[in-house]
């Protein structure tokens, strides 16, 4: 098929639809009418002889063929955007829209309440946070950056380890009054332990304790299993059970005595925080700047 500039134009409209999630939002993004978006998509589908989108009154989603096509062309669109930024001298500007797939613990307990100064520093940048069960296809989902705890699972993404967080085992004084304080991690097998679900395995995370060269794995059980760390922390404070949790964002609870660090000598286990972005040599300035901000915040805790 000879090059047709209308295909490139249609692909840019398709990208706006995928990014916005609807024809209306796509029209706002690129500055044309809703009907103009519809006609552009129709012309692209006719030119390619394939249906790219499933349309309903409430949503617009990529078909299987559309998803495959979009995954192929999106990196090239990004490359064109990068080249245009270099040509216009704005490659180092922190502006535009940044969509981040953020870890469900890191956002509410680490970043929340600390984002205001960052927004004031970069007033031309808008950030959208989403949290999915696990990292999907960043390109097709229009995500610029993913920040997650745990080892990388997808080799197609560029992964950068940012920092390592300590794992603490905590309980409330109320729980300890009723059930006693364990003297050694091995005693947790007889306690009510709040479980946190690993989204990849579908099973609760194992409890491990590290002190110097010594490592102990303890089988634990309890009445509740969570996928939301903030809810698990609230139940721990309420005295429902013992929890293992990342040691960031709970300093005030430890200082006030609402939680007790049960094993301060067993803080050797670390949980790495990674940044993921689609494969490209030089991620945009907005991505690099936000990643550096996350590292700075984590190092202060």
Q: So what's the pLDDT on residue 88?
A: 55
CA atoms of 251 and 74, how far apart (whole Å): 42
Q: So what's the pLDDT on residue 176?
A: 97
Q: Which CATH class is domain 166-269?
A: alpha beta
Where exactly does CATH 1.10.10.10 map onto the chain? 5-88
Q: So what's the pLDDT on residue 174?
A: 97
Nearest to 134 by CA among 162, 157, 115: 157
Q: So what's the pLDDT on residue 87?
A: 57
Where exactly does CATH 3.40.190.10 map onto the chain? 96-163+272-300
Q: So what's the pLDDT on residue 57?
A: 64
Q: What is the CATH T-level fold of the domain 5-88, as seen in this structure?
A: Arc Repressor Mutant, subunit A (1.10.10)
Q: So what's the pLDDT on residue 91?
A: 47
For residue 292, give the 3-state DSSP assignment.
helix
For residue 269, give the 3-state DSSP assignment.
coil
- Exposure string of 80-112, with b = 16+ CB inside 10 Å and e = fewer, is eebeebeeeeeeeebeeebbbbbbbbbbbbbbe
Q: So what's the pLDDT on residue 6?
A: 65
Residue with tokens 């129709």: 42
The domain 96-163+272-300 is placed in CATH, from the list 3.20.20.70, 3.40.190.10, 3.30.70.3280, 3.40.50.150, at 3.40.190.10
Strands (E), the chain: 53-55, 60-62, 96-102, 125-130, 145-149, 157-171, 195-196, 207-211, 214-218, 225-226, 243-246, 260-261, 270-278
- What residues contact 173, with CB distance under 8 A and at least 6 apart? 257, 258, 260
The conformational region for residue 139 under phi > 0 = left, psi -120 to 50 = alpha, else beta, is alpha
> How big is the CA angle at 153 (ends 151 and 156), to the nearest 5 degrees?
125
CA atoms of 180 and 177, how far apart (whole Å): 6
Residue with tokens 């809703």: 34
Where exactly does CATH 3.40.190.290 map onto the chain? 166-269
Note the pTM of the prediction, 2 decimals.
Answer: 0.65
- What residues contact 120, with CB distance under 8 A and at least 6 apart? none
pLDDT tens string, the chain, 301 residues long: the values are 444 556 777 888 888 888 778 888 888 877 788 888 888 888 888 888 889 898 876 678 889 888 888 888 877 776 666 666 555 554 457 888 899 999 888 888 889 899 999 999 999 999 999 987 777 777 777 888 999 988 776 666 778 888 888 899 999 999 999 999 999 999 999 999 999 988 778 889 999 999 988 999 999 999 999 988 889 999 999 999 999 998 888 889 999 999 999 999 998 888 899 998 876 556 788 998 999 999 888 887 7
Treating both helix axes as pointing N-terminal to C-terminal, what angle do 23-30 and 5-20 enclose, rounded to 10 degrees? 120
CA atoms of 11 and 41, how far apart (whole Å): 8
CA atoms of 175 and 183, how far apart (whole Å): 15
Q: So what's the pLDDT on residue 163?
A: 87
β-bridge partners, 244: 169
Q: So what's the pLDDT on residue 16?
A: 82
β-bridge partners, 91: none
């Amino acid at each position: 098929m000879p090059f047709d500039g209308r295909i490139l134009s249609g692909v840019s409209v398709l990208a706006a639809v995928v990014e916005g999630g609807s024809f209306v939002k796509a029209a706002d993004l690129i500055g044309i009418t809703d009907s103009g978006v519809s006609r552009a998509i129709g012309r692209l589908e006719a030119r390619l002889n394939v249906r790219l989108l499933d349309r309903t009154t409430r949503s617009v989603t990529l078909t299987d063929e559309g998803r495959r096509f979009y995954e192929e062309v999106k990196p090239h669109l990004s490359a064109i955007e990068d080249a245009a930024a270099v040509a216009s001298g704005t490659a180092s500007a922190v502006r535009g829209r940044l969509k981040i797939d953020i870890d469900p613990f890191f956002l509410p307990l680490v970043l929340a309440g600390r984002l205001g100064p960052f927004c004031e520093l970069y007033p031309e940048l808008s950030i959208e946070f989403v949290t999915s069960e696990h990292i999907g296809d960043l390109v097709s989902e229009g995500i610029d950056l993913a920040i997650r705890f745990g080892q990388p699972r997808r080799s197609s993404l560029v992964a950068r380890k940012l920092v390592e967080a300590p794992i603490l085992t905590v309980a409330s004084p109320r729980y300890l009054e009723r059930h006693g304080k364990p003297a050694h991690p091995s005693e947790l097998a007889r306690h009510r332990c709040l479980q946190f679900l690993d989204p990849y395995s579908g099973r609760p995370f194992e409890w491990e304790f590290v002190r110097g060269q010594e490592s102990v794995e303890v089988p634990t059980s309890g009445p509740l299993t969570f996928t939301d760390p903030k809810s698990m922390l609230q139940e721990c404070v309420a005295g429902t059970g013992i929890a293992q949790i990342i040691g960031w964002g709970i300093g005030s609870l430890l200082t006030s005595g609402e939680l007790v660090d049960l094993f301060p000598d067993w803080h050797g286990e670390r949980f790495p925080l990674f940044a993921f972005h689609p494969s490209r040599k030089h991620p945009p300035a907005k991505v690099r700047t936000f990643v550096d901000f996350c590292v700075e915040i984590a190092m202060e805790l």
